[in-house]
């Protein structure tokens, strides 16, 4: 007995698959990156706090793309700027600020990102607000441990907290 092939069904299936694959291609429009996570990181061991954001690539990036991120300075003054090259094959991008001081719980902090191509042409901007659920005044003012083996800090005043003068 011969198996009968339904060519009409195969043709329809192939059209559906090709339409689905066509939808995955880069349309050349829209965002390149989306924020997939954001958090303040409080590292109690070394007495540092930083902003940390993760981004996911939505569509292919041009060669030589640069991401410039501006973090509001919780201590006041000029924002902190981080510039990093984004490689086209990167699926996930992590952006971390330099160490910050004076983070207050439940206060809004602004983060701005600019994605530029190799020639400096603006491709995308991202604006986010971040709120910490922890006040940095609860952290030690000096590292609790030092060195690669996390030896206790010999400075006995490390456990105290003499917080820097912070804006209200």
Mean pLDDT, rounded, of the chain: 85
Q: How far apart are CA 114 and CA 91, in angstroms?
A: 18
User: What token pair was written down for 82?
Assistant: 């981080």
Pairing of strands 33-43, 48-57: antiparallel
Stated pTM of the model? 0.77
pLDDT tens-place string over residues 83-125:
999 998 899 999 999 999 999 999 999 999 999 999 999 999 9
CB atoms within 10 A of CB 10: 10
pLDDT tops 80 at residue 158: no
Average pLDDT over residues 145-168: 75
Residue spans per domain, the chain: 33-139
Residues forming a β-bridge with 151: 146
Short-list 83, 102, 101, CA closest to 93: 83
pLDDT score of 80: 98
pLDDT tops 80 at residue 20: no
* CATH homologous superfamily of 33-139: Immunoglobulins (2.60.40.10)
pLDDT tens-place string over residues 22-55:
444 444 578 999 999 999 999 989 999 999 999 9
Q: What percent of the chain has pLDDT over 90?
A: 61
pLDDT score of 26: 44
157 band by pLDDT with thresholds 50, 70 and 90: low
């Amino acid at each position: 007995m011969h198996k009968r092939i339904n060519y009409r069904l195969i043709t329809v299936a192939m059209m559906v698959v090709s339409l689905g694959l066509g939808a995955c291609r880069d349309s050349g429009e829209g965002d390149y990156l989306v924020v997939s996570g954001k958090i303040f990181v409080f590292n109690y061991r070394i007495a540092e706090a930083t902003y940390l954001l993760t981004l996911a690539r939505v569509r292919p990036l041009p060669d030589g793309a640069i991401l410039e991120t501006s973090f509001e300075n919780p201590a006041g003054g000029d924002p902190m700027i981080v510039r990093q090259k984004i490689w086209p094959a990167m699926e996930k991008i992590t952006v971390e600020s330099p160490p910050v001081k004076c983070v207050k719980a439940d206060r809004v902090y602004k983060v701005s990102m600019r994605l530029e191509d190799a020639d400096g042409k603006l491709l995308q901007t991202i604006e986010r607000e971040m709120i910490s659920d922890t006040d940095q005044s609860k952290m030690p003012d000096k590292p609790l441990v030092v060195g690669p083996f996390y030896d206790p800090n010999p400075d006995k005043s490390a456990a105290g907290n003499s917080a820097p003068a912070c804006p209200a």
